[in-house]
Amino acid sequence: MSGTHLKQLLEKKPAAPSLGWARKSPLKVTSIGFDHIKTFVAVAKHGSFSVAGRKVFLSQSAVTSQIRQLEEEYGEKLFSRRGKGMRLTPAGHVFLEYAERFVGLRTESLRTVAEHSSAPGGLVTIGANEATVLYVLPEILSRFSRMYSNVQISIYRNFSHKVLERVEDGTIDLGIVTLPVKSRILKIHSIYRDRVMLIASAKSPLAALSAVTAKDIATQPLIFPKTGSTRQLLEKFFRVYGIEPHIAMELPSVTMIKRYVCANLGVSLISEGFAADEVRAGRVKLLPIKGVELWRELGLIYRRDRHLSSQATAFVNTIHSESALATAE
């Protein structure tokens, strides 16, 4: 059935001509309500009037009556009999898409109204990579939890591209990912920007310098992350300068990289905020790279076509607030 026919089918008004499969009498305008839609979806799902009746707490005759009223309203047969069961006709398949959407909108509207009548509560799911979970989120979540103690937080930890997929398919509410990101179905807000610098052990010969060049870095054993945005940044950096880096080690996390740098097993690049504790303790030194400014930027993402729960909205507002950003930096 074409899109044009579909629109005509769902927008047509009750007409006078009788149906070929119905009694030869003028078509009556029926009173169609949400119960009719819910019953139709149940029959479509279970393929049986009797089973659908048990699910929606109606007798089989009441289910039959509601389906017949729908068919009279739209002037099309929505089900055909298949053995002992029922199956959707082509018109029924078309109507099912709209019926499921209607049921979903009703559920969402009930939840939204309920949420606006009370303080935020319930579960909010947030996705982020390990470094963000360890070094950016704690202070923000601490502030958020103090303000919204009834909200339960669930963290999904994975690489940014995996977090992006989970937000897009609706598995999680919100994501914090490395920018840039391209997606037509997501809202993307930049929330955090941190300078990327060379991290070297306090025992490294580079620690005596105030800044380093690309050639200085190339003389040292490098510790690379196995995957992720920092790995891509490192590879791009050395490509630009035409330098073949000496990769001494590949490690799966920022925490491990810092540990091995502290042990003077190599140098790496890292977001400045991720090494603040080690710098304060005097175990490492962060050095700017001469003539180069490297930045890591994080963005908050969520579906633009879906209503955010009150708890998810509260988190978005918290992370956007000036004090939350100041804490993150």
Query: Cα angle vertex 246, ends 242, 251, to 5°?
Result: 120
Going along the chain from its start, the domains and CATH numbers come out as 3-115 (1.10.10.10), 122-191+297-328 (3.40.190.10), 193-294 (3.40.190.10)
308-to-95, 203, 232 alpha-carbon distances in Å: 27, 50, 32
Residue found under tokens 């007798």: 59
If you ran DSSP here, which 8-state letter would residue 322 be given? H
pLDDT < 70: residue spans in the chain: 1-30, 110-119, 322-329
pLDDT at 24: 40
139-to-90, 130, 181, 226, 258 alpha-carbon distances in Å: 55, 15, 25, 27, 21
pTM over 0.85: no
Q: How many CB atoms lie within 10 A of CB 247?
A: 13
Q: What is the pLDDT of residues 19-42, one digit of tens each?
A: 334 444 444 445 788 889 999 999
C-beta separation of 223 from 265 below 8 A? yes
- Residues whose CB is less than 8 angstroms from the CB of residue 142 and which lie 6 or more positions away in sequence, other chains included: none
* Alpha-carbon torsion (187, 189, 194, 196), positive or negative: positive
Reported in sequence order, the residue ranges of the chain that DSSP labels E, i.e. its strands, are 79-82, 85-88, 122-128, 151-157, 174-178, 186-201, 222-225, 247-251, 268-271, 284-287, 294-303
DSSP 72-104: HHHTS--EEEETTEEEE-HHHHHHHHHHHHHHH
pLDDT at 192: 86
- 180 cis-preceded (ω within 30 degrees of 0): yes
Q: What is the pLDDT of residues 177-204, one digit of tens each?
A: 999 998 999 999 988 888 999 999 999 9
